[in-house]
Structure 1
Amino acid sequence: MKMDIKVLVVDDSAVIRKVFTEQLSRQKGIVVIGTAPDPYVARDKIVKLKPDVITLDIEMPRMDGITFLKKLMKYFPLPVIIVSSLSAKGSKIALEALSLGALEVISKPSAAYSVGDMSIQLAEKIRAVSKAKMMPLPAERTGDKPEGIVTSKALSTTTNKIIAIGASTGGTEAIKKVLTRLPANTPGIVLVQHMPAHFTTSFAGRLNDLCQMNVVEAKNGDTVTNGKVLIAPGNFHMIFKRSGARYYVEIKTGPLVQYQRPAVDILFRSVARYAGANALGIILTGMGKDGAAGMLEMKNAGAVTIAQDEKSCVVFGMPKEAIALGAVDHVHDINSIAQKAASLLEKI
């Protein structure tokens, strides 16, 4: 018999604790076993109730969420979803939390995110992280250091090739491992990471500081060019287009696709239509099916495709679905995907 996923809600806001408890109680297979107003109460409830997943506010009294997260990942690693405001400060701290072992981030209900949309996405994130492979936080962290840069003669002569990347749970760190290995003359990259509005701004800024390529949050009409990475803004779909010899993106709102906005499928399908055999598709760690059907369309249009392997995925969901559909040409460990992409671009 399949057991319900047990969730502990940690937030200093009584309103948020109430909203999360009410909304999650309506979701099949999820049960809120308790709430806590601060990390000290949370610590005792973790020991007593043994939750499968924790939702964690990052701005709390007595002990902030980051300090608590570090202790939790060192001594009692559990799947954690960070709950944050849409402020620039909140986004930056949330990204730090992801680098410290948290698996997902979600925004508190706001003008940008209705309670209904938030509850659907939160439930999906809970289901995703409940299946994640958790490892204790290393005692010594080396920090964000660029990886060895791959080399390819073909990259310097590429003018009309593009790379499309999709990721979800665990994707922020997986994307970092791929992009920090790519040289400045890599073909233009269009990228969807499931992430709320405003958080993608901080995510792009963090990657831009680490990468040889120029990494930005995409704006409507941005041109896709060599040496540039365009990240879909949170809460908006990104569509790849072509006008003559120019590749560009459109940023649009719209319904959730596979419970997501932005959706990888939306991006991949547009890449299949407008880039065809000039594209390379990469699907990384994440739960669900988003990106699988779109990647199959890319492959059928002549694109070459890569999926992250099960061993190196935090959640082997999206890559597994793409592989099952027959949409994947190559399966690789996250640390070898950048080099494989460079070598494949020589043949496109």
Structure 2
Amino acid sequence: MGVKVLVVDDSSFFRRRVSEIVSKDPDLEVIGTAANGAEAVKLAAQLKPQVITMDIEMPVMDGITAVREIMAQTPTPILMFSSLTHDGAKATLDALEAGALDFLPKRFEDIATNKDDAIKLLQQRVKALGRRRLFRPITPRPAVTKPAVAPTRTAMSVVKDKAPVQPSRAKASIRPSGKKYKLLAIGTSTGGPVALQRILTQLPTHYPHPILIVQHMPAAFTPAFAARLNGLCKINVKEAQSGDTLQPGCAYLAPGGMQMMLERGGSHGRVKIVAGNAEMNYKPCVDITFASASKLVGGDVLAVVLTGMGADGREGARMLKGAGATIWAQDEASCVVYGMPQAVTAAGLSSKSIALDDMAEAIMRESGGQ
């Protein structure tokens, strides 16, 4: 029996189009459609779909409110459709924070240049979500007051954390290796925005290393995502720009549609943003950033591969591992999609598989962040 799908959109044309695409896959079955969020909440309870595709802007009840209601009453994996605009990015991030698991551009030409590829990707995403368990939505945290400029190591040492991280199972189960690091690198895709927020909001202001983040995300989304993380985290988070000198306690998010690399400069290295090969499947690409880090920083890297579809990060992790770096993967049970972590684990590159709720604590203990 196929994955049961509920399609929600106020446009009858879009409901019909998505339903047709989903139904073409023998492993998927559309069991209902809704024209607004209120109908979606009602049908989710009645029909018990395994996946819901959800529009954001709708009459009666918008998609974000519907996500909150569904996650409170009938928790179901939800795939959002979003416009590639600044407002669309903010709304999509709100939906993910409310409990949605994934998103795709609403215009199919924005999903992929080839129509067949766009259709295949939509079907793959729906099937992937239909196989996964659900996790509790993130409770929004108040914005953190921080210095107006990116802190240096000295500046960070005099700022006290307002909310110290509570001990977790990681303290008992994961012992630090004693290895010294110069960089933390994180790669992720589907499910990554929520996973990154859970991890980064737990890192203290005095976290001792720069952090590189590669999240598969459109160009319109990364500025809003970086700004949101920066407002929630005690560390600084910014969308990376060419020429950024890496600073401890600052996270650099690869800009959508581009590639993030490292070059020599300053005491920790400098960011270099390039357009990259037009034929690359991922922009930004975890493999490219990890490979660049392996050449500049060598073995002094703690690299973490989080939830995501596909195998991006495996070859970059292979290069890092060859240089002596430490590779960790998120465990299967806590992933939205286990593809990327599974790829590095199956290749024998990851030394630990760690639950998402334990990851921040493990990172801090391993890298001397507390």
Quick one: structure 1 residues 122 and 231, their matched pair in 2 at CA, closer, same or farther if it must change by over 3 Å?
A: farther
Give the corresponding residue for 1:68: 66
Q: Are 2:178 and 1:161 equivalent residues in the alignment?
A: no
Give the corresponding residue for 1:155: none
**Is contact 2:128-2:337 (8 Å) kept?**
yes
Which aligned pairs between 1:1-348 and structure 2 lie closer than 5 A? 3-25=1-23, 29-43=27-41, 45-46=43-44, 49-109=47-107, 113-114=111-112, 116=115, 118-135=118-135, 142-144=139-141, 148-149=164-165, 161-185=182-206, 186-234=208-256, 236-243=257-264, 246-252=269-275, 254-255=277-278, 260-345=282-367
Q: Structure 2: 5+ residue runs without aligned partners? A: 143-161, 167-179
Give the corresponding residue for 1:153: none
**Is contact 1:129-1:169 (8 Å) kept?**
no
Q: Percent identity?
A: 39
Q: Structure 1: 5+ residue runs without aligned partners? A: 151-157
**Is contact 2:108-2:118 (8 Å) kept?**
no
Secondary structure of residue in 2 paired with 1:307:
strand
User: 1:310, 1:299 → 2: CA distance?
Assistant: 21
Secondary structure of residue in 2 paired with 1:341:
helix
User: 1:301, 1:123 → 2: CA distance?
Assistant: 38
**Is contact 1:293-1:325 (8 Å) kept?**
no
TM-score by length of 2: 0.78
Q: What is the Cα deviation at residue 255 of structure 1?
A: 4.8
User: 1:227, 1:51 → 2: CA distance?
Assistant: 42
**Is contact 1:84-1:105 (8 Å) kept?**
yes
TM-score by length of 1: 0.83
Any idea what the Cα deviations from partners look like across 1:166-185, whole Å, max 9, x if unmatched? Answer: 12232222212221222334
Secondary structure of residue in 2 paired with 1:166:
strand
**Regions of 4+ moved over 6 Å:** none
Q: What is the Cα deviation at residue 337 of structure 1?
A: 2.5
Q: What is the Cα deviation at residue 59 of structure 1?
A: 0.7
User: 2:218, 2:119 → 1: CA distance?
Assistant: 13
User: 1:121, 1:219 → 2: CA distance?
Assistant: 30
Secondary structure of residue in 1 paired with 2:81:
strand
Number of residue pairs matched? 333
**Is contact 1:20-1:119 (8 Å) kept?**
no
Quick one: structure 1 residues 218 and 286, their matched pair in 2 at CA, closer, same or farther if it must change by over 3 Å?
A: same
User: 2:346, 2:66 → 1: CA distance?
Assistant: 39
RMSD over aligned Cα atoms: 3.1
**Is contact 1:192-1:262 (8 Å) kept?**
yes
**Is contact 1:75-1:136 (8 Å) kept?**
no
Secondary structure of residue in 1 paired with 2:261:
strand
Quick one: structure 1 residues 256 and 280, their matched pair in 2 at CA, closer, same or farther if it must change by over 3 Å?
A: farther
User: 2:328, 2:54 → 1: CA distance?
Assistant: 33
User: 1:175, 1:339 → 2: CA distance?
Assistant: 13
User: 1:250, 1:136 → 2: CA distance?
Assistant: 35
